[in-house]
Amino acid sequence: MLTKDIINVEKIRKDFPVLSTTMHKHPLAYLDNAATTQKPLVVIDRINRFLKEEYATVSRGVYILSQNATQECHEVREKCQKFLNAEKLEEIIFVRGTTEAINLVAASYGRKFLKSGDEIIISEIEHHANIVPWKRLSDEKGLVLKVIPVNDEGELILEEYKKMLTEKTKLVAVGHISNALGTVHPIKQIIKWAHEVGAKVLIDGAQGAPHTKVDVQELDCDFYCFSGHKIYGPTGIGILYGKYDLLDSMDPYQGGGEMIELVTFEKITYAKPPSRFEAGTIAIAEIVGLGPALDYIEKIGLEKIAAYEDELLRVATEKLKEMDDITLIGTAKEKAGIISFEMDEVHPHDIGTILDQEGVAIRTGHHCAQPTMKRFGVPATARASFSFYNNQQDLEALFRGLDKVREVFK
């Protein structure tokens, strides 16, 4: 049972319309928050109002609708700066999501500054979005890709990481929190050691930003990125933070409108960051929707959110450990609200299918982390991931659903 009165979860649940709906005639227990989060009314209503009454292009019109939309996007950029505690507003780049942010850095920083023989370090339990761009870049430029191993609990083996760091290490790219296991990585130490050998560091914050307070100046990371849809905002919008001097030294990721100062057939000069990396019309409505999402979680408080989600994780972990046929995959000492597990003689997809019929939404599969699955010798896992709007009833629905799986398959 949940024992800590940290937030008023029942009041919060009323802000999320989907949580009062049913799935297969059962109350919805939405436990796939690591994939994407549900949206509060303040986000839904703000996007609807903007599209109905305020929509216009940005940075291009002298008419009042355009000026207002431009100002709205500027204010959301300011909220993102505050959210990450970036030093400069110009260090906040609007992208489509974490995946595009990482690809942008690989293309604009990696292609320009890395050369054959240079080394990139990632970890064994990264999301594909933080593997594929670096593997492609390594193949293209003759780089060496090194991989930090993990122990049986799903924790990075820091001693091995430290051994990997040399003067040839030019970039370290690791996740803040593993999307497949929930492991919280010691990113501050990872960043410190990387900087000691002169390497730059990118942190994939897709799972980090929604669940813990991020201060990019305190961390001293060179790049940090997250996705709006995992933080109660819309899809199609994300943030790349980069130290300004780095961004200013990088070439554009894409060419088009707004990212230039001057275009002739003889010469092109590029705009300063952030415009340099925001070719074309930005995702205006999505940016507008991200603003109230950040306001919403700031109002609750990320410290309270983290504490409550830790309580959900504790209760779910204790209960699942009592089940003889359940094996937890990833048991790190420092974890966020993600549990991956197997059930004896039942494929994860079958677990997910039965749970769906019982009104419980979880993720099954490799979670876009195939090397993680290979490390733990499993083809896939079932994954329940928690948010501050989940309650005891959601957990009970999960446990009852697993009982139903046993009835069907055993």
Catalytic residues: 368
Here the tokens at position 239 are 């943030």
For the chain, count helices (H), then strands (E): 15, 17
- C-alpha R_g of the chain: 22
Here the tokens at position 250 are 């990088």
Nearest by Cα to 131 from 148, 116, 115: 148
Here the tokens at position 116 are 């054959």
Q: What is the distance between the alpha carbons of residues 175 and 156, in angstroms, rounded to a whole number?
A: 11
- Prior bond to 27 cis, omega within 30? no
Q: Which residues contact 59 (CB under 8 A, 6 or more apart)?
A: 70, 258
Nearest by Cα to 93 from 76, 111, 106: 76
Supply the DSSP symbol for 193: H
By the 10 Å C-beta count (0-12 exposed, 13-18 middle, 19+ buried), 182 is classed as buried
In sequence order, which ranges of 108-198 are alpha helices (DSSP H)? 111-113, 132-141, 158-164, 187-196
Note whether 228 and 101 are within 8 A (CB). Answer: no
Beta-bridged to residue 262, according to DSSP, are 269
Note whether 4 and 307 are within 8 A (CB). Answer: yes
Q: How many residues does the chain have?
A: 410
